Structures are given as structure tokens and as C-alpha cells.
Amino acid sequence: MLDIKFIRENVDIVKNACKVKGFKDYTDEIIVLDTRVRELKTLTQTKTAEKNKITKEIPTAADKTSLIAKSKTIGDEIAADIDELATKEAELNDLLHRVPQIPSSDAPVGKDEESNIEIRRVGKPKKFNFELRPQWDLLDMNNWWAPEKIAQICGTRTYALMGEAAELDLAIQTFVIQKLISKGFIFVQCPAITKPQTIFDAGHFMGSDLSVMNNDVFMLTDTDRCLAGTAEIVLNSLHCDEILPESELPIKYAGYSPCFRKEAGAAGRDTRGLVRFHQFHKVEQYIYCKPEQSDEMHELLLNNLFEIMEDLELPYRVIASSTGDMGFNKVKMHDVEAWFPSEDAYRELGSCSSIGEFQARRTNTRFRENGTNDVKFCATLNNTGIALPRAIVPVIENHQNADGSVNIPKALQPLMGGRKTIGGRK
């Protein structure tokens, strides 16, 4: 969320953010409510002081009756003001949680993904001298999955990898975790079960009514828990209500967790293959830093994912997301898309986001500045390390051979027992 003081002093900037991000503009209502809340606070303080003064005068007053009556009248007024104050504060709090983050001045302006800008491409898609097999054919012929049986047992949008594909999946995530650890990231195995408030505090949903998450989040019936869609959720609250020493920043985490999403808005999309499921697993990069370090950390997170794409020997491109496509809580966002040969297209494998102080204000995560001793809100950033099984798709498609075998990228071979290929007709 944004600081109310910032909104008061930058109404035009906030209004423009609502416009370019495509969210309803509540700025005028917020200013009216904020003015009334401050008036009511002043009124209750003034009236309380007056009532206290009268209370002290009553024991020695000649006309106690009138003073008692006056004190009661003021007390009733204070009670009414306090009731109105509670109502107005709740309304203000809800609207403040509907104001989007201010996008970076260098973010492309546009209403949706059509306004995204391609920044660069790395690597050239391979030209195959045989008939290309899509992911599901490679998985079928190598007995690397059993989609019909798993759907029968577990329902739609579920999967199970088998044999060498499951080994490859584990090798990829292990490689990425080890790489991030070597770069100074603290590895965290995050729980997938959390509280709805924790998801809300990550700033992906608007308003103060937590039920707004029900279409996207799996709630656990008869409990106060739900299933998180990314390790970012837990990592974001790891230092809630703490004041960190400036000397500890930046703090870099590599979080791993199973991830659960309803995918309610994806009906009919990616129903075949390994792209979109209710459950998957992901390694997430997450950073707490000083606000002035955000741009540097954004580049660091991006470069890590670039290296991972190159380690997996995948052609990829980098996309700067437009204001209308980047989402509610982001300052800026870059997507990293790998080449999917069977689709003759690039598809997202990772998304790098600068959040500014937006999340830290919700979690009350701050740092104490060296020298001045001032307490300020941290900035937060996140980026995918790797998401699986989606990442399996470009790996097996780009590295396939005519016999249906798949070449293992050199970086993964030590984690695959030294094998250079898997699958294929035996």
C-alpha cells in the first residue's frame, strides 16, 4: 500500500497510476475520508481535554449539577465521534488497499500485454532436420508420465512425472538452488500452508475483504489456513513487524515450496502438457533491501535468471511489461520467456518484479538507518528461480533428438549421474 501522506501530496501522480494500470481511481474519496478522519481525531482530543477539565472542576464547583450535565453531553459527543471515526478509518483503510503501486517512469505505458516491449533475445532457436515432437509425444513415448491415469485418480490439472523426467525435474531444481546459494542467497524450504492474511500482505489482492481471494486461492475448509501460490508469500512476511539493521541489507532468500493455484481464469488454456496445473513447485528469489538499492537488486535478480536460461541452454527473450500488464503491486516487471519449439513461440519461465515499499508497509517491515537512526520501510523484490514442471517443456523440446531421446544440458549432467542423454528408443 502507499503512504497516505504521499497520496495527499501527490494526488496527480496517484491518479495517473490508477489510469495507466487500469484500476478504479479512489483518490478523491480517500482525500475526503482522510480529511474527515483527521478532523475527528482532533475533535475527540479537544473534547476529551475539555471533559477532563470539567471533571476536575466538579468536586469544588458551586453548581455541580450543570457541570455534570455538560460533562455527560460532551461524553456523548465523544462517543459519537469515536464511532464515526472507527467507521471512517475502516472505509479509508479499505480504499488505501485499493490504490495501486506507482509504476516506474521507464515502464512502457499500455493497457495490456499488447503494449509490452521486447528488450532483447539471447540464443537462436534450433532448426531440426527431423519432424519435431511436441512435449506430450516425448513424454508419451518415453513413459515419462501417465496423464489419463493421474487425472482419473487426482482430477484435472494434476500431473506426475516418472522415471528420467522426474530425475530431470529434481536435477533442475537442485541445480538452481545450489547456484543461488553460491551467490549468497539463504535457502528456505517454505511451507505451502499459510494464513489468508499472509497472502493478502503480499499485495496481490485489493481492498480489506479477504474473501476476494477465494476465486484464486485454495482455502482449507474448517480451518484458518489456505494454500500459497508461491514461496514469495511466506518470504514476504518473514520479517513482519521487525526493524532490521541497515547493515544486514540486502537480505537475499532462495525459497522453495510446492505451489497451489485454482487457475480459475485459465479455463480451456494449456489443458495438454506440462504448463499449467493446480499444483507445481518453484524456486523463488526474494530480496529485502533499502529503497535506493532496488534498481541494482532488480538487475541482479534478472541476471540470475538469464544465467539459468543459459545454463539450461535455452534460447530466450526479455520483455518489459507494460503498466497495464504488470499488476497491482509492482513498480516494474520484466518477464523472461524461453523458446517453446512445438508452439513456435516464446513463453514465460520467470517474472522479475520490483515492489518498492508496497509490501513492507503491509507487513510493517522496516530498517534502522545507520548514522541518523531513522526507521524506514524496506523495499522488496522477487523473481522466479525456476518453476517446474513448466521448465521441463523447453528443455526436452529444444534438446530432443530424432529417436525421441533428449540431450542433457552440460550443467545438469553431474546431477543426472553423468548421463548425457535420457529417453529414446532402446
Q: Find out whether 16 and 27 touch, Cβ atoms under 8 Å.
A: no
Active-site hit among 8, 36, 121, 276 = 276
Tell me which amino acid residue 107 is. Answer: A
397 is catalytic: no
What is the separation of C-alpha 58 from the centre of its chain, rounded to a whole number of angstroms? 59
322 is catalytic: no
Q: How many C-beta atoms surround the C-beta of residue 150 within 10 A? A: 16
- Which grid cell sits at 345? 513461440
User: Could you give the CA distance from residue 226 to residue 30 in angstroms, rounded to a whole number?
Assistant: 31
Residue 223 class from Cβ within 10 Å (0-12 exposed, 13-18 middle, 19+ buried)? exposed
Active-site hit among 351, 353, 354, 405 = 351
307 is catalytic: no
Active-site hit among 98, 133, 366, 390 = 390
Q: How many C-beta atoms surround the C-beta of residue 302 within 10 A? A: 18
157 is catalytic: no
User: Could you give the CA distance from residue 241 to residue 261 in angstroms, rounded to a whole number?
Assistant: 28
Helix axis angle for 294-311 and 163-182, nearest 10°, is 140
- Which grid cell sits at 128? 531440426
> What is the 8-class DSSP label of residue 293?
G
Nearest to 360 by CA among 292, 291, 297: 291
Q: How far are the Cα atoms of 247, 349, 375 from residue 371, in angstroms, in the given order?
A: 11, 42, 11
389 cis-preceded (ω within 30 degrees of 0): yes
194 three-class SS: strand
Residue 156 class from Cβ within 10 Å (0-12 exposed, 13-18 middle, 19+ buried)? exposed
261 is catalytic: yes
Active-site hit among 246, 348, 368, 419 = 348
Q: How many C-beta atoms surround the C-beta of residue 256 within 10 A? A: 21
Q: Find out whether 145 and 139 touch, Cβ atoms under 8 Å.
A: yes
Active-site hit among 164, 167, 232, 261 = 261
User: Could you give the CA distance from residue 390 to residue 274 in angstroms, rounded to a whole number?
Assistant: 5
User: Could you give the CA distance from residue 338 to residue 137 in angstroms, rounded to a whole number?
Assistant: 20
**What SS3 string covers 387-409?**
EECCCHHHHHHHCECCCCEEECC
Residues involved in catalysis: 261, 276, 348, 351, 390
